[in-house]
Copies of this chain bind each other. A is one copy, B any other.
């Protein structure tokens, strides 16, 4: 058996960042910026008023000073002339500040009669002007890699970057195996159950930024498995579920080996999820996940998500861990790292009583995986432990 860290390093070595494609800005949110882009514009492109008021010369801004309003500057429509002594220009938020003016007196500080304004006594000393380039200048970089958030999209828009270079979405084939499985919506026989892991893993991969191809369930025979692998040949990552243990009916490793899989490892010192394999199969990476529902989902979070992040070209590959205070004592852990289904409430974490790897109800009601290192001693209530948010 190898450690989780060794296994993860091994799996990550199977993949590298995918190619770049350009997408319209409207479709860029949630995608990974693949290379630096540069602002095509300076923002603001001109000194702009930050308030509604009157643009004038600061040296003349005395209490009771009188100005003649010689024109108007609105957002999108600047004033063409210059502001000279004793003159002011009516100005609105976002409008270019006219030549000769270096201050905007807000309209609340002004009394206007016809084309004349008189300043009040308590004028704010702020100039209410946003200097040209105050936000960014043409050529300023937006640095890759980055998962593009809504505020990034707004910034790229302001930079006039309307085509965004992003990493291709990894195409993931998900292949559940087993004679006991039928698809949701079908009527299972007396010895059968519903294929659930493939749907959960598909959602997890899509959430991480992949495009998923859900393959038909493969039967427990070499012909069915071989056919399924053929359907997955042109993908970036093949995830198999089940059939990776040591039982006589676990054919996945054998069939994948016949098809040329260079298998990287087999057993990981972790609970849930001990049996795992990984390798390259043709142009795709392959990860063989255990068949128990919770094992499959936990191994997905621990191994598959970082692999997808590397394919996406991200630097932060691992799901970050945090610490919380233990709400109940825990017995000593065995020789395998244990990812316990747990609930975090107000900084206190409590492991679920039932940790069997078949219990999807327990996983669905968990919001964290409490991480026990191998041979972790017994822990008391109040101890600080590590977890990963779900």
Contact = CB atoms under 8 A, between A and B. Distances in A.
User: Chain A interface: which size bin?
Assistant: 35 or more
Interface stretch (A4-12, A24-32, A115-123, A375-383): A24-32
Contacts of A265: none
Contact of A178 (B94, B194, B199, B291): B94
Given A179-B77, A191-B46, A293-B158, A390 B149 contact: yes
Contact of A193 (B45, B142, B193, B204): B45
A10 to B, nearest CB: 24
A197 interface: yes
A220 B180 CA distance: 65
B359 A158 contact: no
Interface stretch (A232-240, A246-254, A332-340): A246-254
A361 B149 CA distance: 13
A218 to B, nearest CB: 12
Nearest to A178: B75
A63 interface: no
Interface stretch (A130-138, A222-230, A277-285, A307-315): A130-138
A192 interface: yes
Interface stretch (A15-23, A182-190, A256-264): A182-190
A185 B140 CA distance: 17
Given A50-B358, A52-B246, A206 B363 contact: no
Contacts of A193: 41, 43-45, 94, 158
Contacts of A185: 25, 160, 162-163
Contacts of A249: 74-75, 92
A368 to B, nearest CB: 12
A358 B135 contact: yes
Contact of A92 (B155, B162, B248): B248
B179 A75 contact: yes
Interface in A286-343: 291-293, 297, 300
A202 interface: yes
Nearest to A184: B162
Contacts of A358: 44, 48, 50, 130, 134-135
16 contacts: A29-B206, A44-B358, A52-B246, A74-B179, A74-B220, A76-B220, A93-B247, A95-B180, A135-B359, A136-B361, A142-B364, A150-B200, A157-B184, A158-B193, A162-B185, A163-B185
Given A44-B193, A135-B361, A158-B360, 15 more contacts: A25-B185, A26-B199, A29-B206, A50-B358, A76-B178, A76-B192, A78-B191, A130-B356, A135-B358, A142-B364, A149-B203, A150-B203, A150-B207, A154-B203, A162-B185
